[in-house]
């Protein structure tokens, strides 16, 4: 069966494009004279989700919660400690380094910093040619030129910009170049690691619109890693909320923004600024800092800061469980308790 037909068959059978099962990534800490292992950072500690073709899944959370590590592990820039990653029904987390090329072609990345994500000593043309040449996607020089020109058109940059160096562009334009590079090999999945966080608000909107446009046109799946719920609300289909290396709530956008279940999600939502000075809001202010991922709290990792903490939270770790249709949450609070807490919640339309 040719690969396209196989992919189509998998698509029809409902196999998701990306399936992450129990992903863990721990970083060993070394210290002392002999460099012995003194502990480990539980950056990602059991994360599972699926992503379909043409779908956007946002992973949100505070800095240090492990969301970028999830992205890098899927890209195989980092090797997972435990768990499985499946791309189109094929397991990719165990692939040896030499067999990563087919994966590299299908999964691409756009980074946060538009300044350090482009090599300052390469012209735009060479930056875009690199993946095309690596995967042998152009048989001749003119075909390469055509492909590169088409990429520039896709991200709405003028073709004569190809001869320029990255420092001659603004942040938004550089991010477009980064997106064009990610599109170059014809990827199915693009991981946007805080891809718009470093941009001005107006430029942010342009890039978000560009991503949405490209998704419609090319059927891309996007894994959108962000700390900004306001942006996420504009482009995502589903949202996973991460706290200290775990997904605490996973649901579609509408449910998350109207009927969030997990107290942490509610706190995040109440922190989103509302552009109305007269709006009456009951904010949930979390006290304290995120605990260290070197020594995460027992039971529910959020219990040290949760306004609704009770005894069970300190000893028993809550598992992701369905709390509604296509709505998973890892919290011991049941529906009735959730109702009781309703008065503390922001009235999010």
Partner 1 sequence: MSSAVVPPDAVAAPALPDVLPPPRRRGRVGTFAYRHPTILAGGALLAVMLLIAVFAPVLHTVDPTALAPARRLRAPSGEYWFGTDMLGRDIYSRVMYGARVSLLVGFAVALLSSAIGMLIGLVSGYVRWTDAVIMRVMDGLMAIPGILLAIALMALTRGSVQNVIIAITVPQVPQVSRLVRGLVLSLREQPYVEAAVAAGTPGWKIILRHILPNTLAPLMVQATYICGSAMIIEAILSFIGAGTPPIIPSWGNIMAEGRALWQVKPYIVFFPAAFLSVTVLAVNLLGDGLRDALDPRAARRL
Write out the residues near partner 1 by the rule CB under 8 A: 72, 75, 77, 100-101, 104-105, 107-109, 111-113, 116-122, 130-131, 134-135, 178, 181, 184-185
CB closer to partner 1 out of 88 and 194: 194
Binning the chain into helix, strand and coil, the percentages to the nearest 5 are 35, 20, 40
CB closer to partner 1 out of 49 and 111: 111
> Minimal distance in Å, beta carbon 324 to partner 1?
36
CB closer to partner 1 out of 187 and 231: 187
Full 3-state SS string of 48-65: EEEECCCCEEEEECCCCC
CB closer to partner 1 out of 114 and 296: 114
CB closer to partner 1 out of 10 and 103: 103
CB closer to partner 1 out of 139 and 280: 139
Q: What span, in angstroms and rounded, lies between the C-alpha atoms of 42 and 265?
A: 21
> Taking each helix axis from N to C terminus, what angle separates 124-134 and 141-154, rounded to the nearest 10 degrees?
120
Q: Tokens 């799946």 — which residue?
A: 221
Cα distances from 70 to residues 23, 144, 240, 258, in angstroms, run 8, 33, 12, 26
> Minimal distance in Å, beta carbon 78 to partner 1?
10
Cβ-contact 92, 125 below 8 angstroms: no
> Minimal distance in Å, beta carbon 340 to partner 1?
46
CA dihedral 77, 81, 84, 86 (to 10 degrees): 0
> Minimal distance in Å, beta carbon 112 to partner 1?
8
CA dihedral 245, 302, 343, 230 (to 10 degrees): -30
Cβ-contact 44, 24 below 8 angstroms: yes
CB closer to partner 1 out of 73 and 255: 73
Cα distances from 95 to residues 74, 75, 163, in angstroms, run 12, 12, 37
Cβ-contact 161, 114 below 8 angstroms: no
> Minimal distance in Å, beta carbon 90 to partner 1?
17
CB closer to partner 1 out of 43 and 269: 43
Q: What span, in angstroms and rounded, lies between the C-alpha atoms of 73 and 79?
A: 6
| The two three-digit tokens of residue 280, written as one number | 């009456």
> Minimal distance in Å, beta carbon 194 to partner 1?
11
CB closer to partner 1 out of 129 and 323: 129
> Minimal distance in Å, beta carbon 118 to partner 1?
6
> Minimal distance in Å, beta carbon 251 to partner 1?
29
- Which residues on adjacent β-strands are paired with residue 247? 242
> Minimal distance in Å, beta carbon 270 to partner 1?
32
Cβ-contact 229, 103 below 8 angstroms: no
């Amino acid at each position: 069966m040719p690969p396209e037909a196989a992919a189509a068959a998998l698509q029809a059978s409902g196999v998701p494009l990306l399936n992450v099962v129990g992903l863990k990534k721990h970083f060993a800490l070394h210290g002392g004279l002999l460099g012995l292992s003194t502990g480990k950072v539980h950056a990602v500690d059991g994360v599972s989700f699926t992503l379909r073709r043409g779908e956007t899944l946002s992973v949100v959370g505070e800095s240090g919660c492990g969301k970028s590590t999830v992205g890098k592990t899927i890209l195989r820039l980092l090797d997972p400690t435990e768990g499985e990653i499946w791309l189109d029904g094929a397991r990719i987390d165990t692939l040896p380094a030499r067999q990563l090329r087919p994966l590299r072609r299908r999964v691409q990345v756009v980074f946060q910093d538009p300044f350090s994500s482009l090599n300052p000593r390469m012209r735009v043309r060479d930056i875009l040619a690199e993946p095309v040449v690596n995967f042998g996607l152009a048989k001749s020089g003119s075909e390469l030129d055509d492909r590169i020109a088409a990429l520039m058109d896709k991200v709405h940059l003028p073709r004569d910009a190809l001869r320029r160096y990255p420092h001659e562009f603004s942040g938004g334009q550089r991010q477009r170049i980064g997106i064009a590079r990610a599109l170059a090999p014809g990827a199915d999945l693009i991981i946007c690691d805080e891809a718009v966080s470093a941009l001005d608000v107006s430029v942010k909107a342009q890039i978000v619109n560009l991503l949405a446009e490209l998704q419609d046109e090319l059927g891309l799946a996007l894994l959108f890693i962000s700390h900004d719920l306001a942006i996420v609300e504009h482009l995502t289909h589903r949202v996973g909320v991460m706290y200290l290396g775990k997904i605490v709530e996973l649901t579609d956008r509408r449910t998350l923004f109207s009927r969030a279940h997990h107290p942490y999600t509610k706190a995040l939502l109440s922190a989103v600024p509302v552009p109305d000075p007269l709006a009456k809001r009951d904010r949930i202010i979390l006290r304290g800092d995120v605990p260290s991922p070197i020594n995460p709290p027992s039971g529910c990792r959020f219990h040290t800061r949760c306004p609704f903490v009770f005894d069970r939270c300190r000893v028993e770790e809550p598992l992701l469980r369905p709390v509604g249709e296509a709505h998973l949450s890892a919290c011991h609070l049941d529906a009735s308790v959730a109702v009781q807490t309703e008065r503390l919640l922001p009235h999010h339309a």
